[in-house]
Chain A
């Protein structure tokens, strides 16, 4: 048993046992509350440069298989668990998680009171931390704290370039091809193009620094902007790209960081949440249907209304300001350079903006993860909505090439039955 220690920038520390690779690592300490899906979480590029604390105590029980990874590698810089599995048990399991962590050089720690860490982060906010194991764990704690403090903060951190694909690639449509989509990979999860492919989209996944020309080169019916690690305020390239796409009236769908990119392109601000939304049980209300979706989240930043400051209070009052009022009341609408934009979805826990819908240009986005993986499939209908949007725009432009800018995103009447 090798000793390990988790150290936070404010000096709090927890002793534990080395788990996965031995060594030193730093990153932003965040917790996620999903009880299933550690393999998807570990392979989600949005966790790049973060130390992930799993609130579920038993991790690794179902091992690792070749089917469930969301990208080519494990991304978190550190992994904090309470009770790692001694052996995997599942008919699809091919390898033990601990071996996978070692193979990817992920420094982890086990035996930690993960609930105490979670409560600390909840009260004091996500902060930098480090996991040190083996010989590194024996260094004086002050030295370890100093190392943590020397590491970069998440605010202002540009990270998507580190995770995006280098070469473009194509995910073919499943069944009949109906649309071509250019997907800007800022940290895309493999389930996302898969869900689009199921809707008959041929998905051209492009690197994060793709230019407008790169996008137009694939003759897309629509543009998708993916999730990503890091501070969305640093995404100047993608924001500019999206503004260009908006001007051309091409349909846009953004998820997570992609939602923040769209929002910034429309003039919204971003701000950092105290400890973020992570997990697969977050209630989000579609303000138009007033139905609640249980959704997968992974975001440390969020959008604020233009001119309302960089920071919204996350509380009941904020939630009430969206949700309150008579049934059927739609979300708040703001005027932007690209016409009217409606807040379409909010998180019922704290009132954070979870979705935008443009009324005068064909664009919409959600802060959460409709592709789930891990997580519930309640929001899968959004991929069908993207297909409907592209269908509407293309039929309109072919019917009347001289028509003015295409109008609103179609109403959420078109939902698919869960597969």
Chain B
């Protein structure tokens, strides 16, 4: 069946901002979908609010809307573009939900838009628990047994039938309120009793617990001819009870016989047919009882997913790409397998290696959060590794996490006695470091049986860790490192660093010995077919095996080091820059070689670069790749500037090993990163910086702080995302900070800066080629300085800065670029306070904002940066059209669009052990997971769009609670007045209400939480928020004191998912946006349209200048 002739245009919905549970895997799938549809000659209309994605680059769709993904906005796009079809399966739950809303409201029918990939009925059958249960039962399979109960007697009888433990789920409560696991009758009385109270229908669902069962997933594809294939099986090393996104998972499944596997396959195929997924990919999850093999179906997702991205990378079978082809009419046998080219896609990949995915968590950013892993996903990213066996794969994956203490170790004394007992108790509870604890317990002599008893991790996996322990002991006890011993240890994934620790040698010395003995990895190929057919795609992974498959090449190769697993502070934005560099350099005639270990990304798609190495980004692994590539041809250079702090941290080591680094040199990087050196650069250029000092102890820090004056900003050096950064208001807090920052040492000192109160923060992205500066864009932060730039909303072009100030920003940026010696991208952060432009920091690398600036100004900065690194000048790039002929991002035309970037914060995901949302207050440590962009002709409307895109949007009427710090009270008078004029009811605490009253603004006084309920039962503000009576909260921090009331308010509003404003600047912008949203109809403009206007504006400027 060839492509459907009746489809001419398709609307693709992206997944919006990166949030926990929905990350850049959907950029990967959406990018693939767009590329396929375009290649098929269809008109592609794309909507995604996330500017950091590659899919929203103007070249991937015919029309690209960076607009909020809400039914209203998408309807406006449909009305304007009139697509024939909507592909809802590429953008995660966001796209699916939006498509369903458009279906339900009749919009799709009204405009004659067909859902392709998955129809409404299939989506419903997959999402609705009861309908799904019926589907599964019709397929002759089971779901976990459950009973609905209305009394304690019901519950007791049901539990008797289901067997303990049972899961208690009260009906009609929000966010899992009142649910829990009852292990015995006493638990049941407690949990179900409370549950029936919470439930407005006094109803609870008791469900058979599958905690501790084996968890297996299958990735399936189905086409219009009803051909179904299983692309990949995935086994969770962590058993049921931990969300698969938070589990260590492997592919293929390793502990099933063929009979058991084929049973899963039969059920999976029957269910995908019965659900009615017409074409495309689905993920189905099973739980298997480890003692008797009983299978229950947990869920099916009728769309591409995190698991399908993983499966695509794990097998080389590009699920999203093929799902898109199927959606427009092809059948599997008509689609070639791109890797073999000769064979069709209608087969089931088979692999001759083991893939391990490990999640990356960010609990250090949310100290109050409960780190227990549950069925709610909490990880922010993941790393994947490929090895020829499980141990090699697992150890590579753990070191790919690039996190201290993530890898297995044999340092210090093995745990014994009470400590071992404690470990065995601790591993009962799944946490982010459980696997490491398991390894330590094994090291201390715990048996596989003991550990299976407490963790339910399959004994086969536990035994593999015993194997690692045995090898570690051999390495430690051997007289010398023989080639045989080294090879054996390497076969099981030991790094040079681990071996060094075991032998009390440095990693460098181990590497030297290893190289002298000729023990080096070979590179194998991911080929979908276990070598049955020749592969044409150089998608490689390392293994200490025999045969090397890297082919020689004549090209001039550029190795681009990626960003590794997503984490807060280093996400899809860096992948964007790496991918752009690869595209630009391929176009410029280089052979590009990508190195990365993040399966969610576009960079690890095998056709992004000429070659792909799916490898950890450690010095050892990168050096081996460079060696392999140098043996197979000429390596023109290695790019470390684009993948964030990860590759930058490798620069010095690579340089020391003689690897050619292109772009900004490691010495120049040091000039920008090292405080003292950077201070000298600034001094030489005559640029002011906030007073600062470097301390390696509390007494040193105290001296500096006393001299600068409190408040001071303290942070460790060499970090990304403001990790560990805090504002310290007095000596006591300073001592406390130094005490907590355990790793402080002369090598890792703490930086102490003067904190600039009430400053405007300015962010600049620029290119420098050694002679000319291209100012990419100037962003003005909406929040004041002190909030991490990644968490702060910003606007481009700036809305409150004057020409003279902008001129100073340009001069300062150029002076820094020259002083540091930048070749490529540079990001500088300034703070404007009392007329003085302070330099806060400079980063000689791609920044988080590079994609946002590129989209706001219609100039691909990362592409230009890559070219500059390889020797092109800005003048040359201007001449060939890669950069505008004249002017830059600092000289935008007057009618340039206003772009607002807003951060998306994950607070709702994280709860304290008592179940309350963690504090939502912003600070100098970055905690956002992603961002959205609002782009429009005016700032208020652009800001309004950004707020809608970030979730929920601002209210257009209703009730606003205002409670601000004393210093902020003056600033809120005008915006509150506007709100009242717009018809809002204002609630305020006594102090704020009094200030408002004096300005003639009426407000309702509400009781603080600390005051408790009133004499006549008047509720406190927290209770009113929890009751859903408040539509927006304005609450600014009130100084260093405990601020407990504030926390309760912020937690409550976050829990009910309404907007919260925590700075006065943001409040002013919000009021403007509310007004714009009320007064103006929804309007949408494609990025390509904005770009046309910008180009015309630039031409007019040039004309005017002539």
A86, B257: Cβ atoms closer than 8 Å: no
A279, B532: Cβ atoms closer than 8 Å: yes
B344, A283: Cβ atoms closer than 8 Å: yes
B349, A90: Cβ atoms closer than 8 Å: no
Determine if B252 is an interface residue (Cβ-Cβ < 8 Å): yes
> With A87-B459, A348-B344, A377-B266 known to touch, is A113 a contact of B352 (CB < 8 Å)?
no
CA A34 – CA B256 in complex, angstroms?
Answer: 13
Determine if B413 is an interface residue (Cβ-Cβ < 8 Å): no
Determine if A36 is an interface residue (Cβ-Cβ < 8 Å): yes
CA A150 – CA B896 in complex, angstroms?
Answer: 82
Contact among B261, B331, B467 with A36 in the assembled complex (CB-CB below 8 Å): B261
A348, B347: Cβ atoms closer than 8 Å: yes
Determine if B255 is an interface residue (Cβ-Cβ < 8 Å): yes
In the complex, chain B residues 224-274 whose Cβ is within 8 Å of any chain A Cβ: 225-227, 229-230, 252, 254-262, 265-266, 269-270
CA A179 – CA B225 in complex, angstroms?
Answer: 33
Determine if B547 is an interface residue (Cβ-Cβ < 8 Å): yes
Determine if B534 is an interface residue (Cβ-Cβ < 8 Å): yes
Determine if A315 is an interface residue (Cβ-Cβ < 8 Å): yes
A85, B460: Cβ atoms closer than 8 Å: yes
Determine if A122 is an interface residue (Cβ-Cβ < 8 Å): yes
Contacts of B459 in A (CB 8 A): 87, 89
Q: How far is the CB of A376 from chain B (nearest CB, A)?
A: 6
Least CB separation from A113: chain B residue: B546
Determine if B346 is an interface residue (Cβ-Cβ < 8 Å): yes
A37, B254: Cβ atoms closer than 8 Å: no
Determine if B703 is an interface residue (Cβ-Cβ < 8 Å): no
B332, A115: Cβ atoms closer than 8 Å: no
CA A203 – CA B347 in complex, angstroms?
Answer: 32
Determine if B463 is an interface residue (Cβ-Cβ < 8 Å): yes
B256, A36: Cβ atoms closer than 8 Å: yes
Contacts of A279 in B (CB 8 A): 350, 530, 532
Contacts of B547 in A (CB 8 A): 113, 115-116, 119
Determine if A394 is an interface residue (Cβ-Cβ < 8 Å): no
In the complex, chain A residues 375-419 whose Cβ is within 8 Å of any chain B Cβ: 375-377, 418-419
A283, B347: Cβ atoms closer than 8 Å: yes
Contact among A91, A116, A282, A374 with B545 in the assembled complex (CB-CB below 8 Å): A116
Number of A-B contacts (CB under 8 A): 176
Binary per-residue interface labels of chain B (1-32) against chain A in the complex, 1 for a CB within 8 Å, 0 otherwise: 10000000000000000000000000000000
CA A47 – CA B230 in complex, angstroms?
Answer: 26
A283, B262: Cβ atoms closer than 8 Å: no
Contact among B290, B348, B458 with A294 in the assembled complex (CB-CB below 8 Å): B348
Determine if A177 is an interface residue (Cβ-Cβ < 8 Å): no
Least CB separation from B336: chain A residue: A316
Chain B residues with a Cβ closer than 8 Å to the other chain, count: 59
Binary per-residue interface labels of chain A (342-377) against chain B in the complex, 1 for a CB within 8 Å, 0 otherwise: 000000111000000000000000000000111111
B333, A323: Cβ atoms closer than 8 Å: yes
Q: How far is the CB of A312 from chain B (nearest CB, A)?
A: 15
Contacts of A116 in B (CB 8 A): 545-547
Determine if A25 is an interface residue (Cβ-Cβ < 8 Å): no
CA A261 – CA B722 in complex, angstroms?
Answer: 73
Least CB separation from A315: chain B residue: B342
Determine if A210 is an interface residue (Cβ-Cβ < 8 Å): no
> With A116-B545, A281-B347, A348-B347 known to touch, is A87 a contact of B256 (CB < 8 Å)?
no
Contacts of A67 in B (CB 8 A): 259
Determine if B1050 is an interface residue (Cβ-Cβ < 8 Å): no
Q: How far is the CB of A314 from chain B (nearest CB, A)?
A: 10
In the complex, chain A residues 79-106 whose Cβ is within 8 Å of any chain B Cβ: 82-83, 85-92
| Segment at the interface with B among A52-60, A157-165, A236-244, A298-306 | A52-60
Q: How far is the CB of A183 from chain B (nearest CB, A)?
A: 22
Determine if A77 is an interface residue (Cβ-Cβ < 8 Å): no
Contacts of A9 in B (CB 8 A): none
B262, A377: Cβ atoms closer than 8 Å: yes
Contacts of B530 in A (CB 8 A): 33, 55-56, 115, 118, 279
Determine if A327 is an interface residue (Cβ-Cβ < 8 Å): yes
Contacts of A31 in B (CB 8 A): 531-532
| Segment at the interface with B among A124-132, A247-255, A285-293 | A285-293
Determine if B390 is an interface residue (Cβ-Cβ < 8 Å): yes
A118, B352: Cβ atoms closer than 8 Å: yes
Determine if A35 is an interface residue (Cβ-Cβ < 8 Å): yes
Chain A residues with a Cβ closer than 8 Å to the other chain, count: 60
A35, B252: Cβ atoms closer than 8 Å: yes
Q: How far is the CB of A316 from chain B (nearest CB, A)?
A: 6
In the complex, chain B residues 789-824 whose Cβ is within 8 Å of any chain A Cβ: none
In the complex, chain B residues 323-381 whose Cβ is within 8 Å of any chain A Cβ: 331-333, 342-344, 346-354
Binary per-residue interface labels of chain A (206-219) against chain B in the complex, 1 for a CB within 8 Å, 0 otherwise: 00000000000000
CA A57 – CA B532 in complex, angstroms?
Answer: 15
Contact among A58, A61, A68, A292 with B332 in the assembled complex (CB-CB below 8 Å): A292
B258, A37: Cβ atoms closer than 8 Å: yes
A87, B463: Cβ atoms closer than 8 Å: yes
Determine if A40 is an interface residue (Cβ-Cβ < 8 Å): yes
CA A37 – CA B265 in complex, angstroms?
Answer: 14
Contacts of B529 in A (CB 8 A): 33, 281
Determine if B153 is an interface residue (Cβ-Cβ < 8 Å): no
Determine if B293 is an interface residue (Cβ-Cβ < 8 Å): yes
Determine if B977 is an interface residue (Cβ-Cβ < 8 Å): no
Determine if B524 is an interface residue (Cβ-Cβ < 8 Å): yes
Determine if A227 is an interface residue (Cβ-Cβ < 8 Å): no
Q: How far is the CB of A109 from chain B (nearest CB, A)?
A: 13
B350, A35: Cβ atoms closer than 8 Å: yes
Determine if B630 is an interface residue (Cβ-Cβ < 8 Å): no
CA A34 – CA B547 in complex, angstroms?
Answer: 22
Contacts of A86 in B (CB 8 A): 463-464, 467
Least CB separation from A85: chain B residue: B460
> With A57-B353, A83-B389, A376-B265 known to touch, is A122 a contact of B463 (CB < 8 Å)?
no
> With A291-B226, A316-B342, A327-B1 known to touch, is A376 a contact of B352 (CB < 8 Å)?
no
CA A282 – CA B344 in complex, angstroms?
Answer: 10
Name, among B262, B448, B467, the residue most crowded by chain A CB atoms within 10 Å (CB to CB): B262
Determine if A226 is an interface residue (Cβ-Cβ < 8 Å): no
Contacts of A349 in B (CB 8 A): 342-344, 347, 533
CA A33 – CA B460 in complex, angstroms?
Answer: 22
Q: How far is the CB of B1079 from chain A (nearest CB, A)?
A: 57
Determine if B895 is an interface residue (Cβ-Cβ < 8 Å): no
Determine if B388 is an interface residue (Cβ-Cβ < 8 Å): yes
Q: How far is the CB of A137 from chain B (nearest CB, A)?
A: 16
Determine if A338 is an interface residue (Cβ-Cβ < 8 Å): no
Determine if A62 is an interface residue (Cβ-Cβ < 8 Å): yes
B258, A34: Cβ atoms closer than 8 Å: yes
Contact among B266, B349, B354, B460 with A89 in the assembled complex (CB-CB below 8 Å): B460
A348, B256: Cβ atoms closer than 8 Å: no
Determine if A46 is an interface residue (Cβ-Cβ < 8 Å): no
B292, A91: Cβ atoms closer than 8 Å: yes
Q: How far is the CB of B159 from chain A (nearest CB, A)?
A: 25
B256, A118: Cβ atoms closer than 8 Å: no
Contacts of B256 in A (CB 8 A): 36, 62, 90
Determine if B894 is an interface residue (Cβ-Cβ < 8 Å): no
Binary per-residue interface labels of chain A (28-50) against chain B in the complex, 1 for a CB within 8 Å, 0 otherwise: 00010111110110000000000
Contacts of B350 in A (CB 8 A): 33-35, 55-56, 279-281
CA A116 – CA B547 in complex, angstroms?
Answer: 6
CA A89 – CA B229 in complex, angstroms?
Answer: 27
Please list the residues of chain A having a beta carbon within 8 angstroms of any beta carbon in chain B: 14, 31, 33-37, 39-40, 55-58, 61-62, 65, 67-68, 82-83, 85-92, 113-116, 118-119, 122, 279-283, 285, 290-292, 294, 315-316, 323, 327, 348-350, 372-377, 418-419
The 6 closest A-B pairs by CB, nearest first: A37-B258, A116-B547, A113-B546, A89-B460, A374-B258, A55-B530
Please list the residues of chain B having a beta carbon within 8 angstroms of any beta carbon in chain A: 1, 225-227, 229-230, 252, 254-262, 265-266, 269-270, 290-293, 331-333, 342-344, 346-354, 388-390, 448, 458-460, 463-464, 467, 524, 529-534, 545-547
A-B contact pairs, 11 of them (CB 8 A): A31-B532, A55-B530, A57-B353, A58-B390, A91-B293, A115-B352, A115-B547, A291-B225, A349-B347, A374-B258, A376-B230
